Amino acid sequence: GDKAFAQFLTDEIKEEKKIQKHKSLPKVSGGWELEVHGTEAKLVRKIAGEKITVTFNINNSIPPSAEEDTQGQQKPDEQEPELTSTPNFVVEVIKDDTKQTLVLDCHYPEDEIGHEGEEESDIFTIREVSFQPTGEADWKDTNYTLNTDSLDWALYDHLMDFLADRGVDNTFADELIELSTALEHQEYIKFLEDLKSFVKCQ
């Protein structure tokens, strides 16, 4: 059984490499520097007196496919729908002269993706905003967290503008999807390769 499994994985890896769009990870425009640790990625950008970091994890970042209800109707020559990774991401804004970090928890609402034609709507939303002590690894649950569900929309707009001024806008969010999708695919291929060596190991 293991032999067949290993053979299947070999073919699968070949297929996945064939459809891999990016051999190296796509860049995010606007002077962001990328650090990757396993499935977690961090983008860092410094502007006058501020450091902005955007962190996301590709695990569980691919939304459940909406295609599943049309099972069996796919024509054999059709490509599978392209998987895109839309991870939640956390934006931290650190000002040099304060001990506080402004933390904005953002995500891609599932129903927003691919509905153009409405007025220029944002492809990501801010879910939560809080202040955290700068440089502390563990964030405190005791710090007030503002949930945007019941937020005055004018304040919400200002928060979105605040992010856009720091380079976190729709263009950035689009490029982040691209980067995250490439990263996810790369990790998936690596996982298949590890699985293959594991299965073959006597």
Q: pLDDT per residue over 58-76, tens digit each? A: 999 988 764 444 444 444 4
Please give the C-alpha separations between residue 135 and each of 12, 79, 89, 95, 143, in angstroms, as whole numbers. 43, 46, 19, 12, 15
Return the pLDDT at 73.
44
* Res 134 pLDDT > 90: no
* Res 139 pLDDT > 90: no
To the nearest whole percent, how much of the chain has pLDDT over 70? Answer: 84
The end-to-end CA distance of the chain, in Å, is: 13
Q: What is the pLDDT averaged over residues 99-125?
A: 76
d(CA 5, CA 182): 26
Return the pLDDT at 88.
96
Domains and CATH numbers, the chain: 29-59+83-110+120-188 (3.10.280.10)
The owner of tokens 């729908």 is: 81
150 secondary structure, DSSP code: G
pLDDT higher at 138 or 75: 138
pLDDT higher at 12 or 79: 12
Reported as type and span, the H/E element at residue 53 is strand 50-57
